[in-house]
Amino acid sequence: MIKVGLNGYGTIGKRVADAVLKNSRFQLVGIVKYTPDYSSKMAFKKGINIYVPPEKWRDFESQGVTPKGTIQEFLEESSIIIDASPSGKGFANLSLYKAAGKPAIFQGGEKPEVAELSFSTYCNYDEAVGRKYLRVVSCNTTGLLRILCVLHKEFNVKRARVLVIRRGADPKEDARGPINSIKLESVEDVSHHGKDAMLVLPNVKIISQAVVVPTTLMHVQYLDVEVATPVIKEQVTEVLSRYARILLVDPKKTGLDSTSKLIEAARDFLRSRNDIYENVVFENSILVSGNSISLIQAIHQESIVVPENMDALYAVAGVKLPLEKVVEETDKLLGIGGLKDVF
């Protein structure tokens, strides 16, 4: 079994930790915690090893959590690190991983230079195999690239324009906003998503802009894509429906016409933490005219990158399986595809 350590146990880290625990190819060495809060106690009770900065050892013990070791020991015991630290901290952690000679997978909040390659499974898995440092692109970029790479493979995408309607905060983040505003995400002309996506799909011109809205549940994106030759809607829906990580939802038939209803459906489906790993593409929103395809999709920011983090582990570990098998294994363990039967 390949020994995986998780540095960071927040929104992304705890979900990836649970995914690693489900996969018998990998052994979760443990997690690094920095704050002795409820989540360290819950992880400890679940039997997950907790590693801590040495100066925090007593704080954890006083909360009833006996650490397994220090960060240094965590690095020694892990064969691959998944870094799910707050944006920017991963870059600082890179030198620790390099000094310990350990490969690492970073998240999209880090600058692209943190890794050898920015990664998105449907786009560049083969290029990622055997790399030492990968960066799984951010949640919106992951959602965007899944669609663009699938369309590109089939129809040769020439350019894409994207509007990202970004959630203001994750549900736990009570100090963020906006509370009563729709705010430009940036004072620059474009948002980072298009530029980031072009690192992975360099031959397609992708321009994105973003606004931030007062909601915590999901992001929503509007994509306007130009392909090389004229297509019809049936071709587009058929191609999208081939992929388990893309969920076509018909709001007329299902009543699912909002992010809150989607999250409720995921709760009803007993998805762990009401996670939706799939891009939810509203079927009615797919408009096709000549070379132009547009659509609206919802992206569950807390969980969308979990499958890609798992695939990234296969790539870095050099597991000898073709892309289709890797995706199949990850999808099966996370239950991806199950919602297709009920929606």
Ligand X SMILES: NC(=O)C1=CN([C@@H]2O[C@H](COP(=O)(O)OP(=O)(O)OC[C@H]3O[C@@H](n4cnc5c(N)ncnc54)[C@H](OP(=O)(O)O)[C@@H]3O)[C@@H](O)[C@H]2O)C=CC1
Ligand Y SMILES: O=C(OP(=O)(O)O)[C@H](O)COP(=O)(O)O
**Which positions touch ligand X (CB under 6 A)?**
7-13, 33-35, 84-87, 89, 93, 107-110, 138-139, 170, 301-302, 305
- Under the binding rule (CB under 6 A), the answer on residue 259 touching ligand Y is no
Cα 274 to the chain's mean position, in Å?
Answer: 15
Out of 4, 129, 139, 157, which one is annotated catalytic?
A: 139
User: Residue 166 binds what, of ligand X, ligand Y, none (CB under 5 to 8 Å, by partner type)?
Assistant: ligand Y
Cα 265 to the chain's mean position, in Å?
Answer: 20
What's the closest the beta carbon of residue 32 comes to ligand Y, in angstroms? 20
- Under the binding rule (CB under 6 A), the answer on residue 108 touching ligand Y is yes
Number of Cβ within 10 Å of residue 184's Cβ equals 11
The pairing of strands 287-289 and 292-299 is antiparallel
Residue 123 falls in the annotated catalytic set: no
User: Residue 221 binds what, of ligand Y, ligand X, none (CB under 5 to 8 Å, by partner type)?
Assistant: none
* Residues in contact with 20: Cβ distance below 8 Å, sequence separation at least 6, in sequence order: 4, 6, 26, 28, 82, 310, 313
7/107 with CB nearer ligand Y: 107
User: Residue 197 binds what, of ligand X, ligand Y, none (CB under 5 to 8 Å, by partner type)?
Assistant: none
CA 43/CA 18 separation, integer angstroms = 10
Q: Is the dihedral of CA 265, 329, 245, 130 positive or negative?
A: positive
139/286 with CB nearer ligand X: 139
69/109 with CB nearer ligand Y: 109
DSSP 123-156: HHHHHHTT-SEEEEPPHHHHHHHHHHHHHHHHH-
The answer to whether 300 is annotated as binding is: no
87/289 with CB nearer ligand X: 87
- Under the binding rule (CB under 6 A), the answer on residue 301 touching ligand Y is yes
The answer to whether 258 is annotated as binding is: no
The answer to whether 193 is annotated as binding is: yes
Closest CA to 52 of 72, 37, 25, 38: 72
Q: Any idea which residues carry the catalytic annotation? A: 139
**Binding-site sequence positions for D-glyceraldehyde 3-phosphate:** 138-140, 193-194
